[in-house]
Structure 1
Amino acid sequence: MTTNHSMPLVTQRLRERNRQALEAKIAAENEAEIQCTKVTVAGLLALQQLVEIAQGDTHQPQHCRRVLLAVYNSYAWPLNLTSLRVLDDDLRRAALAVIEWSAVSDRELHEYLPDGHELMQRFAAIEKEEQ
């Protein structure tokens, strides 16, 4: 049988567990927000890098355009993973950063670029010519 004097101890332990659980949840949410911010910053920098390279006319720009178009409209422009293999290491990391960022972004890729929709349409026209 439980005595009355042990009830405050049980209540105290439950409060402590609840407090610890709440602190752990807040810490996890803060860490997730920090990680999301890192992904966003890295993704936006990588986006600028890929857009700059994509405007060229060698094999690297073609694959950068393919990555950007896949993020822009994956139904019309599915990504062939070979495009990632042929990119230089820094461009491959940039491509993966853009892909990761696009998964958490609250806006579409073209909205982050000046005349982004027109730019993506121009990239699509270039890629259609090369097919």
Structure 2
Amino acid sequence: MRVKNLGRVLIISAAALVAAGAAAIGEECIDKTAAQHANDYPTVTRADYIYGCMLANGQTRDVLEKCSCSIDVIATALPFKEYEEAETVMSVRQRGGESVAFLYAPAMQEKIKNLKRAQVEGEIRCF
């Protein structure tokens, strides 16, 4: 009887260890994905954002730190591909005219809204 109980205890313990290991691996994958997400922005894109931010907010060391913090927050909230698409849509829409009418479609509007939400989050956290 004791051998049966010991076997059950060992099986349950092994299952718990496997589950804990799987959870730890899952958390590690999530952390790596978030880190990759935040680091997939090219340096020139980050620099361009910071440059524009500093032109709008002042050219001091304090503003430099706040602007770089802001792009870091945006990078964690929005994958680079989505950031790039929204920036492109906003840039092309400035031309105006009939040729850019499709850029006012709901799907394009949503891309811009997502970028603006990320920018607001950056301003709230950093400024």
TM-score normalised by the shorter chain: which range applies? Answer: 0.3 to 0.5
TM-score by length of 2: 0.44
Richer in helix (by share): 2
